[in-house]
Chains A and B, each alone.
Chain A
Amino acid sequence: MSAGTSRLKRKLNEQGVNYTSGKATENFCLIGTPLPPLEKSKDSGEFVPLWKQDVRDEQGRRRLHGAFTGGFSAGYFNTVGSKEGWTPSTFVSSRSERGKKQAAKPEDFMDEEDLAELREKQLMAGVKEQRDILGGTQAELITTADQEQDSIADSIQRALMPPPDDSPGVRLLKKMGWRPGQGVGPRVTWRQRKVQDLLASGKSLNGINIDELDDDEEAKKHMYPPRDTAVVRISRKTDHHGLGYSSGLGLSESLGQKRTGQSGPKLAAGFGLGAVNEADDDDVDVYDSSSKHDRTYMPYDATHDAEVDTRQSRDSGKAKTQTSFVQQKFPDGTPLVAGFILSDAPVKADIWFPLPDIPPGWKPDPRRVWQKNADKENDTATPMKKDDLPSWRSKMTAMERGAILGETPLPTAPRSVFDYLSEADRKRIQNAAAGINTPPPLAAPPPAPSAEPTPSTSIPFTPPNIASAALKGFMPFPTDPVKQSRYIAYLRSQATPEYPELAPQPLPGQSTNDYNKELSDYAKSAAIFKPVSGAMATRFTTAAVVEHGPKIIEGLHQPTHESIAEDQEAREKAKAAEAARREEVVEGSKAHAAKLGMYGALTREVTPWQPSRLLCKRFGVKDPNPDITTDAPLPGAGAAWKPEQAMAEADLQTATTAAGSVPDPALLLGAGDGRRKHRDLENVGLGEDEDQGKDTLTYVRPSMDIFKAIFASDDEDSDDEEDVDKDGDVKMQDLPAPGPSAAPSKVSASAAPMPAHLRADKDAGPAASYEPSAPERPPAESEKVDIATFKPVFVPRGDRETKKGKDKAKDKKDKKKGKAIVSFMDEDEGAALHIAPQKSGKDTKDKEHRKKKRRKGEKEEKEEADVGDADMWVEKAPPPTVTEFAANQPAEKTSPEVPAPPPPPIEQAPSKPEGPPRARKRAIDFM
C-alpha cells in the first residue's frame, strides 16, 4: 500500500497539488451521529432522571414540595407565610370597625391561579346563563336591547353558545308539564281559552258568539293550557305628571282611541300597514329574521300564539335592560341580581330631633302621667260623641250595620243545647248548676233579680280531691300572706264541700268582679299547683319560692323612702358596730394586754382539746380524755389514773392502818385482790398504776426484825439500819411481802420472798416485788407455775456465796439488776450466764441447754435435783427455818427439795442467810 500512496503523492506532485495542505485532506463524508456539543445547551426535551425532575408553575415557581420531595421545605417557600410554619393571624379587635367589615368571600382565600380559574368559570357562566322565566337569558335581553347588533352575528352567536340553563323554578315547572309560553294552571277547554283570549285582548264578551268564532271541531275536542298571564310591571315614576298620563299622546289617543303602532319598522312585518307610516316604509327591512320582534295587530290567530305571549314580557324586558344591561356591581364587587338597578341617590339618614331641654327642678313623677292616662283610658267611652264619625264607625258592629242595612243574618256558629230548651227548662238547669257551684248557704247574698246587672259572686268549683292535693302541694303566693291565706281558705272550702263557709269572703273594698276573678285565679292555681301524683311525684322537686324577688314598682324609680333607706343603713351600721364592739370586747382585753406587753394570764386562753386517739398513739402519749366506759380496762389501753379515786383509796387505807402501827397485810391484800389483776410491766410507775401513790402513803415502817430476817447475813447478824434504808424503796416494798405468805402451810422454800432485785421475773416481777402473793399466782402453785412462765435471771447461789464481797464488777451487775426491777435484760442474763459457769465450773452451753429445757417445763424435779447443789434458784429462797437450818452449813447445801416446814412468823425469822450479804454489798455500793 505504501507503494500505492507514494505513487499517488508523486502524481499529485506532478499535478502541482500540495498534498500537505489541509485542503487536500478535507473530508466531506459524515459517518454516524455527531456527539452533542460540550457546552450545555438549554434542552427542554432533555432526559432528566426522576429524582431531578421538579414541577414548576407558569411563573417558574416550584410546586410539589413537602411530602412529594421528602418534606424538606414543607411548604414554606411559596405556600405559608414564615419559615416557622403557618403563622396564625393575630387578633385585632374589630369592634369599632364592625361596620366596615365585609363578609369574607371565597375570593379572599384564593390565589391568583384560583382567581384565574374562577374568572374562566364566570365567563362560562356568563355564556351559559340561566333563562329567566320572564323571557330569555340576560344575554338575549342585552342583544334585544342592542339594536345595532346585526342579526347574522346574533344568530351565529346563538348557534355557538351552549343552550341556556333553566332556573330551578323553570325546571320544576317543566317537570310538572309546563312549557315555556304557557300559563300556569290546569288545562282548560277550547271555549274557556277563547274567552280568556278575548278578555286578555280587552274585548267584551257581549255580542260575540264564541262558539261561532271558531268552528274547528277538532280543536274543541282537546284541552289547552291556559294563556300566560302577563306580569304586571310597575315602572318607576320619575316625572311629575298625573297618574295615567303618558307624555307624547296625540289627541286621538288621549281621547281613548287605541294607538295602532309604536314604531315604523315593526309594523312593516304585518299587514295592518297604515298610511301614516308609509313614509318610513323604505327603511324597513322586510326580511328581518328576528321574527320574535314581530308585532301582529291582527285579531287573534292561534298560529301566532307564542309570539303574542312573549310580546309583553319582551317589551318590558327591553325597557328594563335598556338601563341595566351594563352589568352593575355593588361597591364590594358582588354583582347585582338580575333585574335590579343600583340606586344613585344615597339612602337618606333618619332625622333625629334633639331632646327638649328639661326644665330645671323637674322631677320625674310617672304617677301624674299614669293618672292622666288612667283617666283617659277609663273615660274613653264617655267623651265620644255620637256624631263623631270614627267613633260612630267604631261603635257599630257588623251585625248592627247589617241590621240597619236590612241584611239577613248569617247562619251563626253551632248553637248551644240551651237554645233549643224552653225558657223554664233553662232556668231550672241554671238553678241546679248554681246549686252545685255555689253551695246553698251562699256567702254572698244571691243576686237579686234586679234590673241592675250586678255580677253575682260565684265561687269556682274545684274538685275536692284536687283541692286537697293542692293544699298539700306548692303554695304559689308565699310573698303575699293575705293572698296565701285566702288561697288556702278557698282550697279548704273546696276540699270539704260540706263546709262552704270556709271560702274566703270578699275583701272590704273588693268589687264582685275582682272577687270572682280572684277566686277563679285560685281555682286555676289549684289545678296547676296540685302536686304530681304517683310515681311521677318523686321525679320532680318544686322550687322553694316563686315570688322571690322584691316587689317591683313599675315606672321610673323615685326614691320617696329615703328616710327608710337611711334608717336601714343606720341600723345596719349600728349592727356592724355592735358586732365589732363585741369582738373588740373579746379581743380587746387580749389586744390591750398584748399592747402593754402584759403577756401571761391575760393573753392566754386555755381550752380543753381532744387529740384523736390515733394521734396519741403515734405520739406515744396516753389519751388525755378517754371515754370511760369499761370497768376493767385493758392493761394496754389502761384506765386513767384518777387522782380523786386514788386519794379516796389512800384515805381508806390510811384510815384502816391508822389504828395499828403495823399494816394489816391481809386487808391490803384483800383490797388489792379485786383491782390488781392486770398489773404488769406496762403500767408500773405510769399514770395508770393505781397503787403508785398508795405504797408510799400507807407505808409503815416494819420492825427491825424483818429487815434482819431478810437482809442479815448468816455470818453477820448485826446490820446497821442505814444500809437497809439506803437500799431504797425496792427493799421497802418488799417488806409487806413476807407477811402475806397467805397460805403459810403451803409455802415451800421456793415460795419464800426474796429480794426484788434478784427477781427479774418478767411477768410477775413487779407485782411480786410489791407483793409477792399476787392473786393469780398463789404461793402454793408458784412452784409449778414458775417454771413454765417465769423467765428468771439466775445467778448461782454458790457463786454468790463464794464470790460475795470479792468482785466489784460483779456487784455492780447485781446492783444493776436490782435497779432494773422489772426489766429482763438480755445482757444481764448473758452476763449472768457468762459469769455463772466460771464460778460453778460448769459449761455455759450446758447451762443454757438446761435452761431451755426448763423453759419447756420438762422434768423439772430431776433437773432441779441436778442443778440443786450447783446453782440455786434465787427466787426460791429457803424459808426462814430452812435458812436457819442452813445457817450452820454452807449455803450450797440448801436445796429446794428440803421439805418446806410451815413458815414461822416473820418476826421470828432472825436472819436470812443468803440475802444479807448481797444486800449489804448493795447498800455499800449505793454509798
Chain B
Amino acid sequence: MAPSRGPQPLARSLHKTLANHKGPVHVARYAKGTAKYVLTGGQDRTVRLWNPSSGAEIKAYSAHGYEVLSISVAHDNAKFASSGGDRSVFLWDVTTGNTIRRISAHMAKINVVEFNADASVVVSGSYDSTVKLWDLRAQNRLPIMALEEARDSVQTLYVGPTSIMTGSVDGHVRTYDLRKGELRADYIGHPVTSIVPTQDESTYLVMTLDAHIRLMDALSGKLLNDFSGHTHSSYRCRAVFGHGEASVVSGDEGGTVWAWDLLDAKPLQPNPPPKVHHKVVTWTEHHPSEVGEMITASADGTAKVWRYPESGS
C-alpha cells in the first residue's frame, strides 16, 4: 500500500478522539517505551492519561493551578513532569497520581519541560527567558544551572544525551554542547516554536512563526530544507518527523495536519490537507515506533489519535 519509494503516507484516519478536556489542549505526549499511553495537558489545569487505542481516559492528574503547557515522561514511565502557568514544574508519580515534587523558581510561566535520558535532570524553559536545569537526585532548591542566554521567552527544548537545545522567541536555536563546552546559537530570524532533532542529532527541524519549517544542519548551522505551505503566525505549533524520519508532519493554525517529504520538501497528498480540528493544532506527535499512528492536540479541546484505515492495518 505504501509506495515503494518515499515516505509512508500519513495516518489520516481518525482512530479516537480524546475529548475530556475542557478548553484547549496544549500538549499531548506519548509515553516512553512502547508508547501505549498518551498524556495530555490542557487549559483546564489537568493532565490526563489516555489509552489511545481504546480512547479511554485512565486517569486525570489535577494539582496545577494554571494551565498545563508541557509534559515530559521519564524514561521508565514511572513519573512525568508537567509545567505551565503556575511557574513551577510538577513531578508526578504516574500510578498514584500524586506530585512527588514541585519545583518553583521561574519568574513566569514555564513553556516547556524535559527530562534527560535517565530522568536525573529536568530542564525547564520559561517565559522569563531562562532555562533552568534541576537535579532530581538531590533535594536542592537551587537549579544546577540556569541558561540565561535567551533574550525572549523560551518556547521549546530538546535534551539530548550530551547537549541541550533551546528554541526561543528571539529567533535563536541555541545548542549547549556539554562535551565541547560550547554554545552554538543559530539565528533563524523568527520566533521558534518547536525544535525536533533527528535521532542522530545531526540535523534538527525548527518551526518558526513565519510559517516555515526548516531542516537545519546541526553541525554547520546550514539550511538543508525548507517546508512551507501551512499557516503559522502566532501560536505554538510543533513539527515532527514522520515514521523513519522520512517525512515531516506538522499541525497548523488552520486545524489541518500537513506532511512533507523530507527530501524534496513537497507536501504529501492530499494537498492542501483536510481540516481536522476546529482550531489551531497545538501539538503534533508521531508515535515513536508505530508506522501509522500519530496524535494531535488542538485548541478546540480535543486530542485525536490518527491511524491508517482499519482495513489497511
Output the nearest chain B residue to A609 by Cβ-Cβ distance. Answer: B183
B279 near A: Cβ within 8 Å?
A: no
Is B181 in contact with A624, judged by CB distance below 8 angstroms? yes
Which of B1-9, B34-42, B221-229, B286-294 contacts the other chain?
A: B221-229
Is B181 in contact with A611, judged by CB distance below 8 angstroms? yes
A616 near B: Cβ within 8 Å?
A: yes
Contacts A605-B187, A606-B183, A608-B183: A615 and B121 contacting too (C-beta < 8 A)? yes
Is A604 in contact with B120, judged by CB distance below 8 angstroms? no
Number of A-B contacts (CB under 8 A): 93
A590 near B: Cβ within 8 Å?
A: yes
Q: CB < 8 Å: which of A600, A603, A622 contacts B179?
A: A622
Contacts of B180 in A (CB 8 A): 624
Is A619 in contact with B178, judged by CB distance below 8 angstroms? yes
B226 vs chain A, min Cβ distance (A): 7
Q: CB < 8 Å: which of A594, A595, A606, A621 contacts B162?
A: A621
Q: CB < 8 Å: which of B182, B188, B189 contacts A606?
A: B182
B216 near A: Cβ within 8 Å?
A: yes
**Which A561-612 residues have a C-beta within 8 angstroms of B?**
590-591, 593-595, 597, 599-601, 603-612
Is A614 in contact with B186, judged by CB distance below 8 angstroms? no
B256 vs chain A, min Cβ distance (A): 25
Output the nearest chain A residue to B147 by Cβ-Cβ distance. Answer: A609
**Cα of A1 to Cα of B305 in the assembled complex, Å:** 111
Q: CB < 8 Å: which of A609, A612, A614, A621 contacts B182?
A: A609
Is B116 in contact with A625, judged by CB distance below 8 angstroms? no
**Cα of A17 to Cα of B289 in the assembled complex, Å:** 125
Is A590 in contact with B187, judged by CB distance below 8 angstroms? yes
Contacts of A594 in B (CB 8 A): 171, 187-189
**Cα of A618 to Cα of B121 in the assembled complex, Å:** 7
Contacts A597-B226, A600-B220, A611-B176: A619 and B183 contacting too (C-beta < 8 A)? no
Contact residue range for chain A?
20 to 34
B201 vs chain A, min Cβ distance (A): 14
Is A618 in contact with B144, judged by CB distance below 8 angstroms? yes
B133 near A: Cβ within 8 Å?
A: yes
**Which B153-191 residues have a C-beta within 8 angstroms of A?**
161-162, 171, 176-189
Between A610, A618, A622, the greatest number of chain B beta carbons within 10 A of the residue's beta carbon is seen for A618
**Cα of A622 to Cα of B162 in the assembled complex, Å:** 10
Between B144, B188, B216, the greatest number of chain A beta carbons within 10 A of the residue's beta carbon is seen for B144
Is B187 in contact with A591, judged by CB distance below 8 angstroms? yes
Map CB proximity to A onto B100-142 as digits: 1 under 8 Å, 0 otherwise. 0000000000000000100011000000000001010100000
**Which A188-243 residues have a C-beta within 8 angstroms of B?**
none
B43 vs chain A, min Cβ distance (A): 32
**Which B205-253 residues have a C-beta within 8 angstroms of A?**
214, 216, 220-223, 226
B143 vs chain A, min Cβ distance (A): 9
Contacts A606-B182, A609-B181: A619 and B116 contacting too (C-beta < 8 A)? yes
B56 near A: Cβ within 8 Å?
A: no
**Cα of A603 to Cα of B220 in the assembled complex, Å:** 10
Output the nearest chain B residue to A625 by Cβ-Cβ distance. Answer: B181
B58 near A: Cβ within 8 Å?
A: no
B145 near A: Cβ within 8 Å?
A: yes
**Cα of A597 to Cα of B181 in the assembled complex, Å:** 28
**Cα of A597 to Cα of B133 in the assembled complex, Å:** 33
Q: CB < 8 Å: which of A601, A608, A623 contacts B221?
A: A601
Contacts of A621 in B (CB 8 A): 162, 178-179
Contacts A611-B145, A615-B121: A595 and B189 contacting too (C-beta < 8 A)? yes
**Which A640-677 residues have a C-beta within 8 angstroms of B?**
none
Contacts A612-B144, A618-B116, A619-B161: A599 and B181 contacting too (C-beta < 8 A)? no
A452 vs chain B, min Cβ distance (A): 75
Output the nearest chain B residue to A619 by Cβ-Cβ distance. Answer: B178
Contacts A591-B189, A604-B185, A614-B144: A597 and B221 contacting too (C-beta < 8 A)? no
Map CB proximity to B onto A362-386 as digits: 1 under 8 Å, 0 otherwise. 0000000000000000000000000
Contacts of B144 in A (CB 8 A): 612, 614-615, 618
Is A599 in contact with B221, judged by CB distance below 8 angstroms? yes
Is B223 in contact with A600, judged by CB distance below 8 angstroms? yes
Is A611 in contact with B185, judged by CB distance below 8 angstroms? no
Contacts of B177 in A (CB 8 A): 609
**Cα of A777 to Cα of B143 in the assembled complex, Å:** 45
A604 vs chain B, min Cβ distance (A): 4
Is B135 in contact with A605, judged by CB distance below 8 angstroms? no
Is A618 in contact with B137, judged by CB distance below 8 angstroms? yes
Q: CB < 8 Å: which of A603, A608, A609, A623 contacts B187?
A: A603
Is A605 in contact with B184, judged by CB distance below 8 angstroms? yes
Is B226 in contact with A614, judged by CB distance below 8 angstroms? no
Contacts of B220 in A (CB 8 A): 600-601, 604
Is B120 in contact with A618, judged by CB distance below 8 angstroms? yes
Is A615 in contact with B178, judged by CB distance below 8 angstroms? yes
Output the nearest chain A residue to B216 by Cβ-Cβ distance. Answer: A599
Contacts A599-B214, A600-B221: A605 and B179 contacting too (C-beta < 8 A)? no
Contacts of B176 in A (CB 8 A): 609, 611
Contacts of B121 in A (CB 8 A): 615, 618-619
**Cα of A271 to Cα of B142 in the assembled complex, Å:** 112
Output the nearest chain B residue to A607 by Cβ-Cβ distance. Answer: B183
A612 vs chain B, min Cβ distance (A): 5
Is B221 in contact with A611, judged by CB distance below 8 angstroms? no
**Cα of A601 to Cα of B219 in the assembled complex, Å:** 10
Contacts of A593 in B (CB 8 A): 187
Contacts of A610 in B (CB 8 A): 181
**Cα of A614 to Cα of B221 in the assembled complex, Å:** 29
A579 vs chain B, min Cβ distance (A): 15
Contacts of B183 in A (CB 8 A): 606-609
Contacts A618-B135, A619-B161, A621-B162: A612 and B187 contacting too (C-beta < 8 A)? no
**Cα of A604 to Cα of B175 in the assembled complex, Å:** 10
Contacts A614-B144, A619-B161: A608 and B188 contacting too (C-beta < 8 A)? no
Contacts A615-B121, A615-B144: A624 and B137 contacting too (C-beta < 8 A)? no
Contacts of A612 in B (CB 8 A): 144-145
**Which A73-112 residues have a C-beta within 8 angstroms of B?**
none
**Cα of A615 to Cα of B181 in the assembled complex, Å:** 12
Contacts of B188 in A (CB 8 A): 594, 599, 603
Contacts of B178 in A (CB 8 A): 611, 615-616, 619, 621, 624
Is A599 in contact with B145, judged by CB distance below 8 angstroms? no
**Cα of A590 to Cα of B188 in the assembled complex, Å:** 9
Is B145 in contact with A615, judged by CB distance below 8 angstroms? yes
Contacts of B184 in A (CB 8 A): 604-606
**Cα of A600 to Cα of B187 in the assembled complex, Å:** 9
B130 vs chain A, min Cβ distance (A): 15
**Cα of A618 to Cα of B123 in the assembled complex, Å:** 12
B163 vs chain A, min Cβ distance (A): 9
**Cα of A19 to Cα of B252 in the assembled complex, Å:** 117
Contacts of A619 in B (CB 8 A): 116, 121, 161-162, 178
**Cα of A624 to Cα of B182 in the assembled complex, Å:** 9
Is B223 in contact with A608, judged by CB distance below 8 angstroms? no
B208 vs chain A, min Cβ distance (A): 10
Contacts of B116 in A (CB 8 A): 618-619
**Cα of A129 to Cα of B227 in the assembled complex, Å:** 99
**Cα of A550 to Cα of B233 in the assembled complex, Å:** 48
Contacts of A591 in B (CB 8 A): 187, 189
**Cα of A621 to Cα of B161 in the assembled complex, Å:** 9
**Cα of A190 to Cα of B180 in the assembled complex, Å:** 120
**Cα of A610 to Cα of B177 in the assembled complex, Å:** 9
B210 vs chain A, min Cβ distance (A): 10
Output the nearest chain A residue to B226 by Cβ-Cβ distance. Answer: A597
A439 vs chain B, min Cβ distance (A): 64
Contacts of B145 in A (CB 8 A): 611-612, 614-615
Nearest 8 A/B pairs, CB to CB: A624-B181, A594-B189, A604-B221, A609-B183, A599-B223, A600-B222, A603-B187, A590-B187
A-B contact pairs, 8 of them (CB 8 A): A590-B189, A599-B221, A601-B220, A603-B188, A606-B184, A609-B176, A615-B121, A616-B178
Q: With A606-B185, A612-B144, A624-B182 given, can you name 6 additional A-B contacts, CB distance below 8 Å? A: A594-B188, A607-B182, A609-B176, A618-B116, A624-B181, A625-B181
